Structure 1
Amino acid sequence: MLKRLFLGLVATLIFTLQLPIDRAFAVDIKQELRTVKQDATENVVVSNKEFEHGKRLFTNACSKCHMAGRTKTNPNVTLGSTSLKGAEPPRDNVDEIVSYLNNPKTYDGEQDISELHPNTTRTDLYPEMRNLTQQDLQDLAGYILTEAQIRGFRWGAGKVYD
C-alpha cells in the first residue's frame, strides 16, 4: 500500500513537471510609456518583457545606490530625465546609458570613474556586472528610461514620493 502511494506521488510529480507552463508577466505598461530614445535621433519601444528583465537587473545590480532613481552618493544627480539630459554627453537614451555602464565618466564627461562606479570593464571590482551582456545593459537602460516616464518627477525625487 505504501509502495503504491509512493509510486503514485512520483508519477504525479513527473507528469506535472512535463506540463507546459507559460510565464505570466506582472507588468503591462502602455506602449507610449515604453517608447524611449535609442540614441539622439531614434526611438525604440521597450517590450514589457525587456522592462521586467531590466527591472530585475536594476534591483540586483543598481538599487543599492540608486533606489527609486536617487543617487545615494550624490543626491543632486539622479536617474531622472532632467539629470540624464544634463549630463555630458546627455545620457537620456539607451545607447548613452549602455556606453556609461561600459565606461563610466563623470557627469561633465571629462574623467574616467571606472574605479568608482560599477561597469563591465572592472568586473574585478564590481562582480555584479560580471555576467551582464550588452543586451542586459540595453534592458537595464530601457528600464531606467521607462521608469522615468512612468514616475515622472518622482523618479529620483526622494522619500517624499516613494
Structure 2
Amino acid sequence: MKKLLCAVALGVILTGCSDAPKDSSAATPATPAASKTEFVAKADDAGTQQTFTRAQLKQGYAIFKAECSKCHVGGQTYGTYNVREINLSLDQLKGATPPLDNVQTMVAYMKKPLTYDGTENLYDKGRHPKFDNFADEKLVLVAGHILKEANFNPAWGKGKDVR
C-alpha cells in the first residue's frame, strides 16, 4: 500500500512538472509580457502602453541621477524645497492629482510641477524645478526610469529622510 501511494504521489508530482503545453484557454495577462531587458509602462490614462528597452532605462537613470537625485534619492523626497511628505512610490504617484502613474502625466508634471493635490504651481512658488527646457524624449526616459522603479523596486520611495 505504501509503495502504491508513493507511486501515485510521484506520478502527480511528475505530471505537474512536465513540459507539456498548458491549456491555451487559460486566462492570459492583460498586459503583454516584456522580456527581461524591457519594461512596459502605462503610457497614458487611456491604457496605451509604452515599452522601454534596457538601454533607454539606463539613459533615464543617468538623467534622473544628474537632474533629480539631489532631492529624490531612491525615490524619496529629501526636503530640499521644504517638501518631505511626498515621495515617488507607486502609491504616492497614483494618489496625486492628476495621478502620476503613467508616462504622459509624469512628463507633464516635469514640465509644470504642481502640488500633490494639483492646485498650485510648485515652480512659481520656488519649490520644484521645471524641466520644460528638456526635450520630451529625455523626459520620457526619466518617466520610464521612475515608473520602473516605482513598480518593481520595493524600497523605492520608502527611504528615511536623514537630513
Q: Would you say 1:145 and 2:150 are equivalent positions?
A: no
- How many residues get paired? 121
Aligned residues with identical type, % of pairs: 36
Residue type at the aligned position of 1:116? R
Q: Is the 1:31–1:45 Cα contact (8 Å) retained in structure 2?
A: no
Q: Write the distance in 2 (CA, Å) between the matches of 1:49 and 1:86.
A: 29
Residue type at the aligned position of 1:77? I
Q: Would you say 1:37 and 2:38 are equivalent positions?
A: no
2:117 corresponds to which residue?
A: 108
- Root mean square deviation, CA, Å: 1.9
- Shift of residue 157, structure 1, vs aligned partner: 0.6
1:58 corresponds to which residue?
A: 64
2:77 corresponds to which residue?
A: 71
Within-5 A mapping of 1:18-37: 30=36, 34-37=39-42
1:83 aligns to what SS in structure 2?
Answer: helix
Can you give the 5+ residue segments of structure 1 that lack an aligned partner in the other structure?
1-28, 122-129
Q: Write the distance in 1 (CA, Å) between the matches of 2:59 and 2:130.
A: 18
More helix by share: 1
Q: Would you say 1:84 and 2:86 are equivalent positions?
A: no
Residue type at the aligned position of 1:144? I
1:135 corresponds to which residue?
A: 137
Can you give the 5+ residue segments of structure 2 that lack an aligned partner in the other structure?
1-34
Q: What TM-score do the two structures reach when normalised by structure 1?
A: 0.69
Q: Would you say 1:49 and 2:55 are equivalent positions?
A: yes
1:100-150 Cα offsets, whole Å, 9 max, x none, are 0101110000011113211134xxxxxxxx5x2110000000000011122
- Shift of residue 88, structure 1, vs aligned partner: 0.3
1:21-57 Cα offsets, whole Å, 9 max, x none, are xxxxxxxx7257x111101121211111110000000
1:21 corresponds to which residue?
A: none
